[in-house]
Amino acid sequence: MRKFLKVLGPGLLYAGAAVGVSHLVQSTRAGALFDFDLVWVLILANLLKYPFFEFGPRYATATGSNLIEGYQKVGKWAVILFTVLTLASMFVIQAAVTVVTVGLVAYIFNLTISVTYLSIGILLIAVVVLVVGKYSFLDKLIKLIIVLLAVSTLVAVFSALGIYKEISPDAIQHFQWTKGADIFFLIAFVGWMPAPIDVSVWSSIWNTEKNKELGFRPELKVALTEFRVSYWGTALLALGFLSLGALVMFGTGEELSANGTLFAGQLISMYTKSIGSWAYWVISIAALTTMFSTTLTVLDAYSRVLNPVFKGLFPTAWNRVSNKNIFTWIWLILMMMGASLIIAFAAKTMVFMVTVATTLSFLTAPILAWLNYKVVTDSHMPIEARPGLFLRILSWIGIGFFVTFSLVYFYWWFLL
């Protein structure tokens, strides 16, 4: 237990990145729209994605390097492929989580400032927090936030089991495999359930940062236990949000709004209906800090990811700069500007932004999953730390699942 508590951190940062849009928005919408129809999809997505997320801490603990350095050892082509996929999605992902955070801020503090200006403000605050606090601050902050949200969600779900709601027969709908809109929602739902596979790379970087802070590399078993507790904990939280949507909103005729501010009000209302109005500020703080931590961790992750990417692709330029912190500043400003521009000119609604980001993540999932598998089974990976037969089989089933559903998506996209 002492060893476990000492290494606790990277897994919770993973949870901080995961428990955001996929849980507060997508899982809640899944329950509100289709009752408990998609519970099996939620469980299956968490199971089939597990190996690729686990490969992050596995590789970092076994080798002392992050996954991007692992891609470099497999071949420069792997780094280039990862870079292309990252550049294609990073601004959209940052914009999506920021828009949801802004919706909560606007609702809780009753602000009427434009989404664009609020987004820039939130991103500026996040940049300052990261520059001043660095990894250690993020490590400590996330532990409190995750515990607060987990406890409040569990209490809300159990309280919702006993509440009365008026059912409107006309409002009852169930998931249909022959309906294009339902398929598109399913793809978006799975895209970030429990998180985009990019997070596995972030996780490997957070693990190497934690190791630097500790001054040693923990045992593989301890590091993986720390990750598994966080991983399956986020899966249970996703189930909690889906249940909350199903128990409080399904069949009532009330639809979750596509507007971020209105959605925030509906989300907090679900909790207060279940627990009581006294819990308004507790839930508001829990939801807001959760989404802000997601915005923070995504921003932190991309600024860390782009450093080894740039180093691997442009080693000469990297070595010429003595103060490497300048690169972190560049990436943070780049992320802030890119996300702000997307929010200003492309964000029609919160749901639109979330759907684009989650769908992009799903369509890139097969390639990222295969890259991670290639690294942890490569000859440079210590034999004793390579995944066993069960994880290898699960990996190939997962890749097959991602490819199949991507083809289904394209079928419906061209059909409609």
pLDDT in tens, 80-124: 999 998 988 899 889 988 988 999 999 999 988 888 999 999 999
Cα 139 from Cα 40, distance rounded (Å): 32
The domain spans of the chain are 2-415
| pTM of the full structure | 0.88
- pLDDT at position 370 over 90: yes
Residue 14: both structure tokens together: 């993973």
Least confident range of 53-67, 89-103, 145-159, 196-210: 145-159
Most confident of 1-15, 124-138, 352-366, 368-382: 368-382
Binning the chain into helix, strand and coil, the percentages to the nearest 5 are 80, 0, 20
Rounded CA gap, 100 and 330, in Å? 25
User: Which residue has better confidence, 284 or 141?
Assistant: 284
For residues 288 and 387, the model is more confident at: 387
Task: Calculate the average pLDDT of the chain.
Answer: 86
Percent of the residues in the chain that have a pLDDT greater than 70, as a whole number: 93
Distance CA 230, CA 210 (A): 16
Q: How far apart are CA 174 and CA 357, in angstroms?
A: 25
pLDDT reported for residue 136: 61
DSSP 9: S
Distance between CA 409 and CA 395 in Å, rounded? Answer: 21
- Is the model's pLDDT at 416 over the cut of 70? no
Higher confidence at residue 21 or residue 384?
A: 384
Distances (CA, A) of 6 to 10, 42, 157, 210, 219: 11, 31, 31, 10, 12
> Burial level of 164, CB count in 10 A (0-12/13-18/19+)?
exposed
Phi, psi of 348 (to 5 degrees): -70, -50
Question: Nearest-CA neighbor of 22 among 362, 377, 386, 301?
Answer: 362
- Between 129 and 64, the more confident residue is 64
**If you average pLDDT over residues 289-304, what whole number do you get?**
85
Name the CATH architecture for the domain at 2-415. Answer: Up-down Bundle (1.20)
Positive or negative, the CA dihedral 199, 301, 245, 182 is negative
Number of DSSP helices (H) and strands (E) in the chain, helices first: 16, 0
Whether pLDDT at 268 is above 70? yes
